[in-house]
Amino acid sequence: MTTLDDRTITTDLADIGDFTASLRQEHDDLFEAFWAHPFLRELRAGTLSREATLHYVGQDHHYLSAYLRCYGLGMAKSPDRPWMRHFVDSSLFLLEDESHPHHVMCESFGVQYEAVQHDRLAPSAQAYIDHMMECGHDSLGVLMFALLPCPWTYIWAGNRYLAQHDNPADNKFEGWWQFYGSPDCNDLLANLLQRCEALAQEAGPAERARMARAFELSCHHEIRFWQLAYTRETWGDLPRSILAG
Amino acid sequence: MTTLDDRTITTDLADIGDFTASLRQEHDDLFEAFWAHPFLRELRAGTLSREATLHYVGQDHHYLSAYLRCYGLGMAKSPDRPWMRHFVDSSLFLLEDESHPHHVMCESFGVQYEAVQHDRLAPSAQAYIDHMMECGHDSLGVLMFALLPCPWTYIWAGNRYLAQHDNPADNKFEGWWQFYGSPDCNDLLANLLQRCEALAQEAGPAERARMARAFELSCHHEIRFWQLAYTRETWGDLPRSILAG
Amino acid sequence: MTTLDDRTITTDLADIGDFTASLRQEHDDLFEAFWAHPFLRELRAGTLSREATLHYVGQDHHYLSAYLRCYGLGMAKSPDRPWMRHFVDSSLFLLEDESHPHHVMCESFGVQYEAVQHDRLAPSAQAYIDHMMECGHDSLGVLMFALLPCPWTYIWAGNRYLAQHDNPADNKFEGWWQFYGSPDCNDLLANLLQRCEALAQEAGPAERARMARAFELSCHHEIRFWQLAYTRETWGDLPRSILAG
Amino acid sequence: MTTLDDRTITTDLADIGDFTASLRQEHDDLFEAFWAHPFLRELRAGTLSREATLHYVGQDHHYLSAYLRCYGLGMAKSPDRPWMRHFVDSSLFLLEDESHPHHVMCESFGVQYEAVQHDRLAPSAQAYIDHMMECGHDSLGVLMFALLPCPWTYIWAGNRYLAQHDNPADNKFEGWWQFYGSPDCNDLLANLLQRCEALAQEAGPAERARMARAFELSCHHEIRFWQLAYTRETWGDLPRSILAG
Which candidate, D75, A230, A146, A216, places its Cα nearest to that of B123?
Answer: A216
First-residue to last-residue Cα distance in chain A = 59
CB C173 within 8 A of CB C46: yes
Over residues D197-202, mean pLDDT: 96
Alpha carbons B121 and B127: distance in angstroms, whole number: 9
Predicted confidence at residue A15, as pLDDT, reads 77
Interface contact B239, partner A, CB < 8 A = yes
For D4-244, CATH number? 1.20.910.10
Alpha carbons C62 and C120: distance in angstroms, whole number: 7
Q: Count CB-CB contacts under 10 A for residue A129.
A: 22
Give yes or no for residue B113 having a pLDDT over 80. Answer: yes
Cβ-proximal residues to A121 (8 Å cutoff; 6+ apart), any chain:
A59, A62, A63, A66, A129
Give yes or no for residue C6 having a pLDDT over 80. Answer: no
Q: What is the mean pLDDT of chain B?
A: 93
Candidate from C65, C84, C95 with C-beta closest to A68? C84
Task: Report the chain C residue with the minimal C-alpha distance to residue A96.
Answer: C85
Give yes or no for residue D117 having a pLDDT over 90. Answer: no
Predicted confidence at residue B7, as pLDDT, reads 42
Give yes or no for residue D116 having a pLDDT over 90. Answer: no
A136 to chain D: which residues are within 8 Å by CB? none
D203 to chain A: which residues are within 8 Å by CB? 204, 206-207
Task: Give the pLDDT confidence of A150-187 residue by residue, as tens digits.
Answer: 999 999 999 999 999 998 999 999 999 999 999 999 99
Predicted confidence at residue B96, as pLDDT, reads 87
Chain D: closest CA distance from residue B93 (Å): 11
Q: Is B125 exposed, middle or buried (0-12, 13-18, 19+ CB in 10 A)?
A: buried
At residue C204 the predicted structure's pLDDT band, cuts being 50, 70 and 90, is very high
Q: What is the mean pLDDT of chain A?
A: 93
Q: What is the CA radius of gyration of chain D?
A: 18
Task: Give the pLDDT confidence of A35-59 residue by residue, as tens digits.
Answer: 999 999 999 999 999 999 999 999 9
C39 to chain D: which residues are within 8 Å by CB? none
Task: Give the pLDDT confidence of D125-173 residue by residue, as tens digits.
Answer: 999 999 999 999 999 999 999 999 999 999 999 999 999 999 899 999 9
Helix (H, G, I), strand (E, B) or coil at C107: helix
Total number of residues shown for chain C: 245
Chains that touch D (3 or more CB pairs under 8 A): A, B, C
Predicted confidence at residue D15, as pLDDT, reads 77
CB C138 within 8 A of CB B141: no
Residue A63 to residues A98, A143, A227, B166, D69, Cα–Cα distance (Å): 12, 16, 15, 50, 32
Predicted confidence at residue B11, as pLDDT, reads 52
User: How would you label D18-55 residue by residue, b for 16+ Cβ within 10 Å and e otherwise?
Assistant: ebbbebbeebeebbebbbbbbbbebbbeeebeeebbbb
CB C207 within 8 A of CB B205: no
CB A84 within 8 A of CB C65: yes
CA angle in degrees (0–180, nearest 5) for C196-C198-C204: 95
Predicted confidence at residue D1, as pLDDT, reads 33
Helix (H, G, I), strand (E, B) or coil at D214: helix
**Under an 8 A CB cutoff, do D138 and A137 touch?**
no
Q: According to the 3-state scheme, what is the secondary structure of chain A?
A: CCCHHHHHHHHCHHHCCHHHHHHHHHCHHHHHHHHHCHHHHHHHHCCCCHHHHHHHHHHHHHHHHHHHHHHHHHHHCCCCHHHHHHHHHHHHHHHHCCHHHHHHHHHHCCCCHHHHCCCCCCHHHHHHHHHHHHHHCCCHHHHHHHHCHHHHHHHHHHHHHHHHCCCCCCCCCHHHHHHHCCHHHHHHHHHHHHHHHHHHHCCCHHHHHHHHHHHHHHHHHHHHHHHHHHCCCCCCHHHHHHHCC
Alpha carbons D174 and D153: distance in angstroms, whole number: 17
Which candidate, A98, A107, A119, places its Cα nearest to that of A50?
Answer: A107
Chain B: closest CA distance from residue A127 (Å): 5
Helix (H, G, I), strand (E, B) or coil at B50: helix
Instruction: Name the least confident of A2-11, B111-120, D192-201.
Output: A2-11
| Portion of chain C with pLDDT greater than 90, in percent | 87
**Under an 8 A CB cutoff, do D84 and B91 touch?**
yes
Interface contact C117, partner A, CB < 8 A = no
**Under an 8 A CB cutoff, do A36 and B137 touch?**
no
Question: What residue ranges do the domains of chain A occupy?
Answer: 4-244
**Under an 8 A CB cutoff, do B133 and A131 touch?**
no
Task: Report the chain B residue with the minimal C-alpha distance to residue A223.
Answer: B239
A204 to chain D: which residues are within 8 Å by CB? 202-204, 207
Predicted confidence at residue D14, as pLDDT, reads 65
B202 to chain C: which residues are within 8 Å by CB? 204-206
Task: Give the pLDDT confidence of D30-52 residue by residue, as tens digits.
Answer: 999 999 999 999 999 999 999 99
Task: Report the chain B residue with the minimal C-alpha distance to residue D85.
Answer: B95
Task: Report the chain B residue with the minimal C-alpha distance to residue A131.
Answer: B130
Predicted confidence at residue C14, as pLDDT, reads 65
Task: Report the chain C residue with the minimal C-alpha distance to residue B207.
Answer: C203
Interface contact C120, partner A, CB < 8 A = no
Task: Report the chain C residue with the minimal C-alpha distance to residue D219.
Answer: C239
**Under an 8 A CB cutoff, do B203 and C204 touch?**
yes
Q: Is C110 exposed, middle or buried (0-12, 13-18, 19+ CB in 10 A)?
A: exposed
D11 DSSP assignment: G
Chain A: closest CA distance from residue D52 (Å): 38
Question: How is B149-185 classified by DSSP, letter by letter?
Answer: HHHHHHHHHHHHHHHHS-SS-S-TTHHHHHHHTSHHH
**Under an 8 A CB cutoff, do D202 and A202 touch?**
no
Chain D: closest CA distance from residue C129 (Å): 9
At residue B2 the predicted structure's pLDDT band, cuts being 50, 70 and 90, is very low
Give yes or no for residue C69 having a pLDDT over 90. Answer: yes
Residue A102 to residues A97, B196, D188, Cα–Cα distance (Å): 10, 41, 58
**Under an 8 A CB cutoff, do A243 and B36 touch?**
yes
Task: Give the pLDDT confidence of C117-128 residue by residue, as tens digits.
Answer: 888 899 999 999
Chains that touch A (3 or more CB pairs under 8 A): B, C, D
Q: How many Cβ pairs closer than 8 A exist between chain B and C?
A: 24
Residue B243 to residues A11, A185, A222, B236, Cα–Cα distance (Å): 22, 27, 15, 11
C95 DSSP assignment: H
Candidate from B137, B139, B202 with C-beta closest to C205? B202
At residue D245 the predicted structure's pLDDT band, cuts being 50, 70 and 90, is confident
Task: Give the pLDDT confidence of A79-127 residue by residue, as tens digits.
Answer: 999 999 999 999 999 998 778 999 999 999 999 988 888 889 999 999 9
C114 DSSP assignment: G
Chain D: closest CA distance from residue A208 (Å): 9
**Under an 8 A CB cutoff, do A77 and C92 touch?**
no
Predicted confidence at residue B161, as pLDDT, reads 98
**Under an 8 A CB cutoff, do B69 and D92 touch?**
no
CA angle in degrees (0–180, nearest 5) for C172-C175-C178: 130
**Under an 8 A CB cutoff, do D69 and B84 touch?**
yes
C210 DSSP assignment: H
Candidate from B72, B78, B85 with C-beta closest to D75? B72
At residue C7 the predicted structure's pLDDT band, cuts being 50, 70 and 90, is very low
At residue A16 the predicted structure's pLDDT band, cuts being 50, 70 and 90, is confident
Residue D148 to residues A50, A129, C200, D197, D212, Cα–Cα distance (Å): 59, 35, 38, 11, 11
**Chain D residues 13-72 with a CB less than 8 Å from chain B:** 65, 68-72
At residue A147 the predicted structure's pLDDT band, cuts being 50, 70 and 90, is very high
CA angle in degrees (0–180, nearest 5) for D155-D156-D157: 90
Over residues A22-44, mean pLDDT: 98
pTM, two decimal places: 0.94
CB A143 within 8 A of CB A70: yes
First-residue to last-residue Cα distance in chain B = 59
Task: Give the pLDDT confidence of C74-104 residue by residue, as tens digits.
Answer: 999 999 999 999 999 999 999 987 789 999 9
Cβ-proximal residues to C127 (8 Å cutoff; 6+ apart), any chain:
C221, C224, D123, D126, D127, D130, D131
Task: Report the chain D residue with the minimal C-alpha distance to residue A202.
Answer: D204
Alpha carbons B244 and C13: distance in angstroms, whole number: 68
| Portion of chain A with pLDDT greater than 90, in percent | 87
**Under an 8 A CB cutoff, do B75 and D91 touch?**
yes
CB C75 within 8 A of CB A69: yes
C104 DSSP assignment: H
Interface contact B161, partner D, CB < 8 A = no
Interface contact B100, partner D, CB < 8 A = no
Give yes or no for residue B107 having a pLDDT over 60. Answer: yes
First-residue to last-residue Cα distance in chain D = 59
Interface contact B236, partner C, CB < 8 A = no
Cβ-proximal residues to A230 (8 Å cutoff; 6+ apart), any chain:
A37, A38, A39, A52
Over residues B158-174, mean pLDDT: 95
Q: Find the DSSP H helices in D81-182.
A: 81-96, 99-108, 123-136, 140-147, 149-164, 174-180
At residue C153 the predicted structure's pLDDT band, cuts being 50, 70 and 90, is very high
CB A183 within 8 A of CB A146: no
CB A39 within 8 A of CB A52: yes
Over residues A131-139, mean pLDDT: 98
Candidate from A65, A69, A88 with C-beta closest to C95? A88
Predicted confidence at residue B71, as pLDDT, reads 98
Alpha carbons C159 and C185: distance in angstroms, whole number: 10
Task: Report the chain A residue with the minimal C-alpha distance to residue C72.
Answer: A72
C33 to chain D: which residues are within 8 Å by CB? 238-239, 242-243
Task: Report the chain D residue with the minimal C-alpha distance to residue B92.
Answer: D88
CB D105 within 8 A of CB D57: yes
Predicted confidence at residue A5, as pLDDT, reads 44
Chain A: closest CA distance from residue B239 (Å): 5
Q: Count the alpha carbons within 13 Å of C18 in the hemisphere toward its beta carbon.
A: 4
Candidate from C73, C80, C85 with C-beta closest to A72? C73
| Portion of chain B with pLDDT greater than 90, in percent | 87
Task: Give the pLDDT confidence of B39-59 residue by residue, as tens digits.
Answer: 999 999 999 999 999 999 999
At residue B14 the predicted structure's pLDDT band, cuts being 50, 70 and 90, is low
Give yes or no for residue B1 having a pLDDT over 70. Answer: no
B95 to chain D: which residues are within 8 Å by CB? 81, 84-85, 88
Alpha carbons C171 and C44: distance in angstroms, whole number: 7
Interface contact C137, partner D, CB < 8 A = yes
Q: Find the DSSP H helices in C97-204.
A: 99-108, 123-136, 140-147, 149-164, 174-180, 183-201
